[in-house]
């Protein structure tokens, strides 16, 4: 911001709006944003209307704003410039050695998670999931960690009322899932206990871009018999891994 001679104030205001929405998604209405940014309501309306039409923000039934799908698209494009899989393998190797468990990287595609990479721990029991495979997002910790950072209306549009049951433990309704996602967003991580595969539990955390959008997620898969003794440390290490990968994507922030 060294030379303001060629500065576009409208873009700066739009940036400030997006930053506030990133910090408090689904909580701020037009009047709240106007007060926070000391901007009259008519000017704020024009900016929000334009951002909404362009898909940069979305508005819910309570007239509160969240970041829009276009930012997710841009976030994925940004990740495309950054070799996330290579960095994941490097960082996840350290986490695997500390936990002794398998780590996975995935992204969200509609109502499914798409597995990108895997750093495997030595074990006689192999996980079903492999890079290139897809699983229903609602049944995995990875999927829940990613869904929790999507606008509510996008999740409701992608996920049906009744959910496919992969095991007897799989969450069965969208209403229950939405409540879980709210808790996940607050805590910063997701867990699932035998919802996708019997005998395994998982903990996952999102990788966030500089705008706060979840572009991918990482998880640790833990055999059921080790879950109780390992879950707390696994949460700490997976959240730390996701944080390191998030920082690596935007080190100048």
CATH of 4-67, one of 1.10.10.10, 2.40.340.10, 2.30.130.10, 2.40.440.10: 1.10.10.10
Other C-beta atoms closer than 10 Å to the C-beta of 78 total: 16
CATH architecture of 75-249: 2-Layer Sandwich (3.30)
Chain segment 209-241, per-residue pLDDT in tens: 877 889 999 999 999 999 999 999 999 999 999
Chain segment 16-30, per-residue pLDDT in tens: 999 999 888 889 999
- Identify the H or E element spanning 163: none
Q: Is residue 165 a contact partner of residue 130, using CB atoms and an 8 Å limit?
A: no
What share of the chain in percent tops pLDDT 70?
Answer: 93
Q: pTM here? A: 0.68
Chain segment 25-58, per-residue pLDDT in tens: 889 999 999 999 999 999 999 999 999 999 999 9
Domain boundaries, the chain: 4-67, 75-249
Rounded to whole angstroms, the Cα distance separating 253 from 113 reads 28
Q: What number is the average pLDDT over the span 103-129?
A: 86
Least confident segment among 12-21, 70-79, 81-90, 236-245: 70-79
């Amino acid at each position: 911001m060294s030379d303001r001679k060629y500065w576009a104030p409208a873009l700066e205001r739009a940036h400030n709006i997006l930053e506030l929405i990133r910090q408090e998604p689904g909580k701020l209405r037009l009047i709240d944003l106007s007060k926070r940014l000391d901007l009259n309501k008519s000017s704020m309306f024009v900016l929000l209307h334009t951002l909404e039409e362009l898909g940069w923000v979305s508005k819910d039934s309570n007239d509160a704003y969240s970041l829009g799908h276009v930012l997710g698209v841009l976030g994925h494009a940004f990740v495309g410039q950054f070799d996330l899989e290579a960095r994941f393998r490097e960082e996840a190797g350290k986490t695997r050695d500390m936990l002794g468990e398998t780590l996975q990287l995935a992204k969200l595609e509609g109502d499914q998670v798409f597995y990108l990479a895997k750093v495997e721990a030595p074990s006689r029991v192999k996980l079903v999931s492999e890079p290139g495979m897809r699983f229903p997002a609602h049944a995995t910790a990875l999927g829940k960690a990613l869904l929790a950072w999507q606008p509510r209306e996008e999740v409701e549009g992608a996920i049906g009322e009744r959910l496919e049951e992969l095991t007897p433990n799989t969450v069965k309704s969208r209403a229950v899932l939405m409540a879980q996602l709210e808790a996940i967003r607050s805590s910063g991580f997701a867990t699932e206990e035998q919802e996708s595969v019997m005998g395994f539990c998982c903990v996952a955390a999102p990788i966030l871009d500089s705008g706060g959008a979840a572009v991918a997620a990482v998880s640790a898969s833990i055999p059921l018999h080790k879950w109780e003794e390992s879950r707390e440390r696994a949460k700490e290490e997976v959240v730390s891994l996701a944080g390191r990968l998030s920082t690596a994507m935007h080190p100048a922030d």
